[in-house]
Structures are given as structure tokens and as C-alpha cells.
């Protein structure tokens, strides 16, 4: 599988997004067919230090067993201990050029929400882009205003060959519009972590 294919169904999750055991939710999501996972322990009620590492190791192990790509969100310190395939950062996190020199071989993902953000970012050193929030989301407290599927189309036009995922408010009902706008995949938190039937929702994405 190339990176585009690996990004097709990309679950992002931390314990703060779960009302059940995150390990069980990840197992169900893997059974449903996710192709990538991002460990994002961030925001209110997120775990820290040893507890964060401990949960990360469990989730990492599951991903390894099932050949699901494992990315860590914005935590350079955890990349090596978790043997992550890569790291995803936002505009206010570590600079991607710095990350690239620290991790020459890792996959680096970057979030972009506007043309201004694209212009000020070293897009040439990243492996994939996350574009959003496509739709309204209440999962990320500091999320920007929704940019719509138009933003996906714009980023695709700017970077015809860049692996690209949409993020923010994506559900089984609207995921098709994100792919049709030009994304290689969809990244999803609440639609999966809050689902009554996790594997069914993943199948339908
Ligand atoms: N990043 P849900 S939106 C983590 O726009 C994150 O960069 C965003 O959660 C961005 O799938 C978002 O529940 C939250 O809407 C996505």
C-alpha cells in the first residue's frame, strides 16, 4: 500500500475522546477496516507522561499486529519509544523543517486550513497534508471555522500529487463528498469513537 492508500480511513483518537476503553474501540475500528491510526492524547482530560506512554504502547502494539500505520500527534518525545511510523503536527506545533531534520525517515503530516498557512509552511518537507476543518466540529475546542470541501479541492489543485486527507466533522454520511472533492482519505474522531457500532461506521466511511 502506498501512503495515499494508507490514509484512506484514518482514525484519530485519544482517551479523552472515548467513553469506553480506547483499546477496545481501536480493536473494533481495526476490524472495520481503518488503514491508519493517530494517537492524539490532547485537550481536556488527556493523559500525560507515563500514563500517556502506557496507553500509546498498547495502541501501538495493536496497530503493529494488524499492519495499521501508526502516527503520533505533536509529541516528538514519543516518536521513538512508540516506534511510530510518523508524526502529525498543526500550525502552532513544532516547525516541520525542524521535525524533518530530527526524523529524516519518518512520515510527517501537517494540518493546513488556509492559503496563508500553506504559504508559510515548508510543504516540500512533509509527506501528507490534513485539510480542515471541512465541517463543523466540537471535538477540537480551538478548531477554526469550517472550510468546506472547497478547501480540499483547492489544496488538491495546488498539490496534485500530495497525499491529502480531510479532517473535521466527517461522518459516514458526508465522507463521500470529501473524497469526491479530491482527498485520498478521511480522518475522523467522534464519528467513530462515539459510535454505537464502531466497525460498522468504519466500514461505511
Ligand atoms: N483537527 P471530529 S479538526 C483534531 O481542522 C482536529 O485541523 C482539526 O474531530 C483541524 O472528527 C479536528 O470529531 C477534530 O470532528 C476532528
Residue with cell 499486529: 65
- Total structural domains within the chain: 1
Dump pLDDT digits (tens) for 122-170.
999 999 999 999 999 999 989 999 999 999 999 999 999 999 999 999 9
Dump pLDDT digits (tens) for 76-116.
999 999 999 999 999 999 999 999 999 999 999 999 999 99
The CATH number for 49's domain is: 3.20.20.70
Question: Do the interacting molecules here have an ipTM over 0.95?
Answer: yes
Dump pLDDT digits (tens) for 22-73.
999 999 999 999 999 999 999 999 999 999 999 999 999 999 999 999 999 9
The reply to whether ligand 1 has any atom less than 6 angstroms from the CB of 16 is no
Active site residues: 40, 111, 140
CB atoms within 10 A of CB 195: 20
Instruction: Consult the annotation and say whether 194 binds a ligand.
Output: no
Give the number of the atom of ligand 1 that is nearest the alpha carbon of residue 194: 13
Instruction: Consult the annotation and say whether 196 binds a ligand.
Output: no
The reply to whether ligand 1 has any atom less than 6 angstroms from the CB of 137 is yes
The reply to whether ligand 1 has any atom less than 6 angstroms from the CB of 14 is no
CB atoms within 10 A of CB 161: 7
CB atoms within 10 A of CB 118: 17
Residue with cell 509529541: 75
Give the number of the atom of ligand 1 that is nearest the alpha carbon of residue 170: 11
CA of 86 to the centre of ligand 1 (A): 18
Residue-range definition of the domain harbouring residue 171: 3-204
The reply to whether ligand 1 has any atom less than 6 angstroms from the CB of 168 is yes
Instruction: Consult the annotation and say whether 49 binds a ligand.
Output: no
**What global pTM score does this model have?**
0.98
CA distance 82 to 72: 8
The per-residue pLDDT for 48 is 97
Nearest-CA residue for atom 13 of ligand 1: 190
Instruction: Consult the annotation and say whether 93 binds a ligand.
Output: yes
Kindly indicate the confidence band of residue 4, based on its pLDDT and cuts at 50, 70 and 90: very high
Amino acid at each position: 500500500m502506498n501512503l495515499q492508500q494508507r490514509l484512506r480511513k484514518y482514525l484519530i483518537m485519544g482517551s479523552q475522546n472515548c467513553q469506553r476503553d480506547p483499546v477496545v474501540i481501536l480493536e473494533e475500528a481495526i476490524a472495520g477496516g481503518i488503514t491508519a491510526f493517530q494517537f492524539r492524547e490532547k485537550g481536556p482530560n488527556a493523559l500525560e507522561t507515563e500514563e500517556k506512554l502506557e496507553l500509546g504502547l498498547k495502541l501501538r502494539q495493536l496497530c503493529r499486529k494488524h499492519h495499521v500505520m501508526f502516527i503520533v500527534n505533536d509529541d516528538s518525545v514519543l516518536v521513538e519509544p512508540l516506534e511510530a511510523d510518523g508524526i502529525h503536527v498543526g500550525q502552532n506545533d513544532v516547525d516541520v523543517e525542524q521535525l524533518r531534520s530530527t526524523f529524516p525517515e519518518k512520515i510527517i503530516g501537517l494540518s493546513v486550513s488556509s492559503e496563508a498557512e500553506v504559504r508559510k509552511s515548508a510543504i516540500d518537507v512533509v509527506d501528507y497534508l490534513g485539510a480542515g476543518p471541512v465541517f463543523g466540529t466540537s471535538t477540537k475546542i480551538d478548531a477554526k471555522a469550517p472550510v468546506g470541501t472547497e478547501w480540499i479541492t483547492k489544496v488538491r489543485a495546488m498539490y496534485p500529487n500530495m497525499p491529502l486527507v480531510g479532517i473535521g466533522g466527517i461522518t459516514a454520511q458526508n465522507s463521500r463528498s470529501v473524497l469526491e472533492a479530491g482527498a485520498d482519505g478521511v480522518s475522523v474522531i467522534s464519528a467513530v469513537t462515539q459510535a454505537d457500532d464502531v466497525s460498522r461506521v468504519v466500514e461505511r466511511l
